[in-house]
């Protein structure tokens, strides 16, 4: 073999990374690890072994965390939290800066440990995972420094329980730990059962960097350990990255607890190739989209959607590129792909591929020799996959893409959105107008234009639909680790006794207020009505009127009307603002009538009733003003390009209106949603519904399109449950009892809708805190569109 022969064959010789330092670190711990609690390691206990995916050999013995371990870690975090939060932001920033620096100084050791433990190529851990982990601590050190000025009125949540997956062990740790610590929280982290080593190494480095005891705690174990952490009564927030199925269980476990929750779940991301795309660049994009980390990436571009005119050319070039992919041991610096996490996951991948082929799919697979001894699977593309196959619709979490074709951009959008997931998407086109138009229509939290799997600490990451909710990274991610200071001081709601009727008020009892559905008044499906009684003065106990009692079918009708009004979200912000101003103008013209109705329903003094109407008019004007001023951000990540953080409407939102301030509560909870382009199904105050049923007369005269604003009356508990179960409802705001909050959070898991509640606290709806950007953030979801530029 001569040098010239290498130029003839272009073969790579193996180039193994030295793993002696990593092996020495394992030996220094005798290959056995306990938990990291209160600034030190506990004695190793009974547990399990981690295995090197590329060889099948044991790496270390890991302790299985139980209830006592989780209790101890949470107690340590609680003890440290007050002191940590009380530090000046500059002091916390210095600690995070120290963590970033110590990651950089130990980058090679971390890279090797990660490659050994996870099985991914050393090239990826060295060049992507570890540098980006350090970047997260650098970036969030800045937010710690700026916290007082940039997040005035917000406090840290407290103790945060974090559960991370095995596909990016150290990067996911940094992703979650950095913002939590920066903003004054303390952490109990549960790394994945299969890949805990880099987290334990990081704990050791954090100790060396001077992080105070108890600020960071790590408890190892399997899913049972994670369940104990998520359900722990002294944990204030749970941040989870993993499967949608486990995310559902965590949502159920935390329902009604008052815990903040962030879920970053599965994906089935579309990779759209337009006929004018640079096909060679798009082929390389596929390599990065689905064969990066062996496809074990939640945002992997696993659904190729290729325009018919270039489909054959594209797939021919893709097949040629697949032949050049190198598969080998994780420490070989010349490989493209390495091992699947374990044999069970490899077998799951193989089973899904086999079922798709048996159902008629065409298999495109590189004929590559696989190394012996580990869990390997070749790069694979499935064409013409029947839509009934699980490979077509479910997350494979392996190096397998399914491919389909389309004719028009409209069809591409339909195919892209035909999934229960909505984490990420890629669009490949040389026509920037077309690319951005597709990016705007795809239902995903992240869209990459002519690139894929690009991430940065300064740009929020997270999905929509069943890919979860919340954002991690950037300014938008910081709010998920903070709580508004004012609401913590508000008292628990005290349910009032039901009013008892004393006779009839003959001048009003003959009028039964109807529902307002699809721009029209509608009778209740069940045909039932109930009386509404006065609460004070001369109206005490008098029947003021009757309202319908809505049922499941009424909910269905209202949601269908809202779905038919989907065009509201594409109206210009100026147009939505005009309509909200018009609503305020028409309510103002009838102020005396609405004030009198409030006085009779609630027993308020005349001046209090007039003040509530005045505040309602002002709030409509306020959200009219916000409609064309709540705008996105241009992120400037470290690349030649930018990322556009665009706030988008969520879709159809259910609202359970509060009993206190029946008119102002209605306006305060529905106006921000409508201003941002959502459609609303509102359940009026159960005790005092007549202000809402009067308000639809304002809607009828204010040019509000049919279906945008729908109003029902009835039981808050019953209708809240129906809205929570309804899979066409994308978000639910519920303001009532603690039991109501618990119920709707628990029942919302069907489509993992976003839920916003007061946790049973009686908010003062006239307070400044009940208006503005907090509500607008809950009324929108951020889509980050990455746009590189240059040749």
If you write DSSP's letter for every residue of 12-56 in order, what string do you get?
PPP-BPP-HHHHHHHHHTTTEE--EETTEEPPP-SEEEEE-TTT-
- List 449's β-bridge partners, or say none: 427
Q: pLDDT-derived band of residue 505, with 50, 70 and 90 as boundaries? A: very low
Question: Are β-strands 47-51 and 32-33 bridged in parallel, bridged antiparallel, or unpaired?
Answer: unpaired
**How does strand 47-51 pair with strand 446-449?**
unpaired
pLDDT digits (tens, 9 = 90+) for 76-120: 999 999 999 999 999 999 999 999 999 999 999 999 999 999 999
Write b or e for each residue in 450-482: b if 16 or more Cβ atoms lie within 10 A of its Cβ, otherwise e.
Answer: bbbbbbbbbbbbbbbbbbbbbbbbbbbbbbbbb
pLDDT at 509 over 70: no
Give the mean pLDDT of the chain. 94
Render pLDDT for 352-367 as a digit per residue (tens, 0 to 9): 999 999 999 999 998 8
Q: Tell me what pLDDT residue 537 has.
A: 59
Element (H, E) at 356: helix 343-358
Tokens 């027993």 correspond to: 603
- Pick the catalytic residue: 114, 274, 298, 466? 298
pLDDT band at 3, cuts 50/70/90?
Answer: low
* For the chain, percent of residues with pLDDT exceeding 90: 91
Give the pLDDT score at 497. Answer: 57
Q: Which two tokens stand for residue 671?
A: 């106006």
Which residues share a beta bridge with 327? 337
Strand partners, 520: 517
Phi, psi of 687, rounded to the nearest 5 degrees: -80, -35
Residue 349 in this model has a pLDDT that exceeds 70: yes
| Predicted pLDDT at 461 | 97
Q: CA 492 to CA 508: how far, in whole Å?
A: 34
Place of tokens 């209790």: 71
The two beta strands, 520-522 and 515-517, are: antiparallel
| pLDDT tens sequence across 444-461 | 999 999 999 999 999 999
Choosing from 124, 264, 612, 648, which is the catalytic residue? 264
Nearest residue to 613 (alpha-carbon basis) of 627, 634, 596: 596
Query: pLDDT tens for residues 735-776?
Result: 999 999 999 999 999 999 999 999 999 999 999 999 999 999
Cβ contact 484:511 at 8 Å: no
CB 293 within 8 A of CB 172: no
Q: For 193-209, what is each residue's pLDDT tens digit?
A: 999 999 999 999 999 99
* Predicted confidence (pLDDT) at residue 503 exceeds the cutoff of 70: no
**What pLDDT was estimated at residue 182?**
98
Q: Which of 25, 47, 48, 197 is nearest to 115 (CA)?
A: 197
Convert the pLDDT of each residue in 113-138 to its tens digit. Answer: 999 999 999 999 999 999 999 999 99
pLDDT of residue 488: 81
Question: How confident is the model over 626-671, as pLDDT tens digits?
Answer: 999 999 999 999 999 999 999 999 999 999 999 999 999 999 999 9
298 is catalytic: yes
Percent of the chain with pLDDT over 70: 96
pLDDT band at 506 (very low <50, low <70, confident <90, very high): very low
The average pLDDT across 142-151 equals 97
Whether the model clears a pTM of 0.75, i.e. scores above it, the answer is: yes
Per-residue model confidence (pLDDT) at position 95: 98
Q: Which residues contact 173 (CB under 8 A, 6 or more apart)?
A: 133, 164, 189, 191, 198, 199, 202
pLDDT digits (tens, 9 = 90+) for 400-443: 999 999 999 999 999 999 999 999 999 999 999 999 999 999 99
Q: Can you tell me which residue has the tokens 């005045």? A: 614
Is 213 among the catalytic positions? no
Give the C-alpha separation, 653 to 261, whole Å.
19
User: Is 90 exceeded by the pLDDT of residue 512?
Assistant: no
Q: Phi/psi of residue 780, each to 5°?
A: -135, 165
Given a cut of 60, whether residue 69 has pLDDT beyond it is yes
- Between 9 and 128, residue with greater pLDDT: 128
Q: Are 652 and 629 in contact (CB under 8 A)?
A: no
């Amino acid at each position: 073999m001569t040098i010239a022969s290498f130029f003839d064959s272009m073969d790579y010789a193996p180039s193994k990374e030295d793993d002696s330092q990593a092996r020495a670190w394992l030996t220094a711990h005798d290959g056995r690890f306990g938990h990291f609690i209160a600034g030190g390691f506990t004695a190793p206990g009974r547990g399990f072994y981690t295995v090197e995916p590329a060889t099948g050999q044991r790496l270390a013995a890991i302790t299985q965390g139980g209830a006592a371990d989780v209790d101890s870690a949470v107690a340590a975090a609680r003890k440290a939290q007050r002191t940590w939060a009380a530090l000046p932001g500059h002091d916390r920033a210095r600690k995070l800066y120290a963590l970033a620096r110590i990651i950089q100084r130990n980058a090679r050791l971390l890279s090797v440990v990660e490659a050994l433990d996870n099985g991914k190529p050393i090239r990826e851990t060295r060049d992507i995972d570890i540098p980006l982990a350090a970047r997260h601590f650098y970036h969030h050190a800045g937010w710690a420094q700026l916290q007082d000025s940039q997040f005035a009125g917000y406090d840290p949540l407290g103790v945060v329980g974090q559960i991370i997956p095995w596909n990016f062990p150290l990067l996911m740790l940094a992703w979650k730990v950095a913002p939590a610590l920066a903003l004054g929280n303390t952490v109990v982290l549960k790394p994945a059962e299969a890949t805990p080593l880099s987290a334990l190494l990081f704990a050791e480095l954090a100790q060396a960097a001077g992080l105070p005891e108890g600020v960071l705690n790590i408890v190892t174990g399997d899913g049972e350990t994670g369940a104990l952490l998520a359900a722990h009564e002294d944990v204030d927030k749970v941040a989870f990255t993993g499967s949608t199925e486990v995310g559902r269980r965590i949502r159920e476990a935390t329902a009604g607890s008052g815990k903040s929750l962030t879920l970053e779940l599965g994906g089935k991301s579309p990779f759209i190739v337009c006929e004018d795309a640079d096909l060679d660049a798009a082929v390389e994009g596929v390599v990065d989209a689905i064969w990066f980390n062996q496809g074990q990436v939640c945002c992997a571009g696993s659904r190729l959607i290729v325009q018919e005119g270039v489909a054959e050319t594209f797939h021919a070039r893709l097949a040629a590129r697949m032949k050049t992919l190198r598969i080998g041991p994780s420490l070989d610096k010349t490989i493209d792909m390495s091992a699947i996490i374990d044999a069970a996951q490899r077998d799951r991948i193989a089973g899904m591929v086999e079922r798709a082929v048996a159902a008629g799919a065409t298999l495109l697979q590189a004929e590559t020799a696989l190394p012996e001894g580990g869990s390997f699977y070749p790069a694979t593309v499935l064409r013409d996959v029947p839509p009934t196959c699980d490979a077509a619709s479910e997350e494979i979490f392996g190096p397998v893409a399914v491919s389909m074709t389309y004719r028009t951009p409209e069809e591409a959008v339909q195919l892209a959105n035909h999934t229960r997931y909505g984490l990420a998407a890629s669009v490949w086109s040389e026509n920037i107008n077309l690319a951005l138009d597709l990016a705007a229509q795809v239902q995903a939290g992240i869209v990459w234009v002519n690139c894929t799997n690009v991430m940065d600490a300064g740009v929020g990451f997270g999905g929509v639909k069943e890919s979860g909710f919340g954002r991690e990274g950037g300014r938008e991610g910081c709010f998920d680790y903070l709580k508004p200071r004012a609401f913590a001081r508000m008292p628990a709601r005290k349910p009032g006794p039901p009013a008892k009727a004393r006779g009839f008020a003959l001048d009003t009892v003959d009028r039964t207020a109807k529902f307002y559905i699809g721009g029209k008044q509608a009778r209740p499906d069940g045909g039932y009505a109930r009386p509404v009684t006065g609460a004070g003065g001369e109206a005490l106990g008098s029947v003021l009127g009757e309202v319908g009692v809505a049922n499941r079918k009424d909910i269905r009708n209202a949601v269908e009307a809202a779905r038919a009004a989907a065009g509201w979200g594409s109206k210009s912000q100026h147009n939505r603002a005009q309509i909200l101003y018009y609503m305020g103008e028409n309510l103002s013209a009838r102020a005396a009538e609405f004030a009198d109705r409030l006085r009779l329903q609630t027993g308020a003094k005349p001046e209090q009733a007039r003040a509530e109407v005045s505040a309602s008019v002002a709030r409509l004007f306020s959200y009219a003003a916000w409609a064309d001023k709540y705008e996105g951000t241009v992120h400037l990540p470290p690349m030649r390009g930018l990322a556009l953080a665009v706030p988008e409407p969520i879709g159809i939102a259910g609202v359970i209106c509060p009993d206190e301030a029946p008119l102002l509560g209605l306006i305060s909870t529905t106006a921000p949603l409508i201003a941002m382009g959502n459609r609303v199904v509102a359940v009026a105050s159960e005790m005092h519904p007549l202000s809402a049923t009067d308000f639809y007369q304002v809607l009828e005269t204010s040019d509000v399109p049919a279906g945008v604003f729908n109003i029902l009356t009835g039981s808050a508990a019953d209708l809240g449950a129906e809205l929570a179960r309804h899979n066409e409802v994308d978000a639910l705001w519920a303001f009532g009892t603690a039991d109501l909050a618990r119920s709707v959070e628990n029942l919302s898991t069907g489509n993992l809708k976003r839920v916003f509640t007061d946790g049973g606290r009686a908010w003062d709806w006239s307070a400044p805190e009940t208006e503005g950007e907090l509500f607008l953030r809950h009324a929108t979801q951020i889509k980050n569109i990455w746009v590189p530029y240059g040749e």
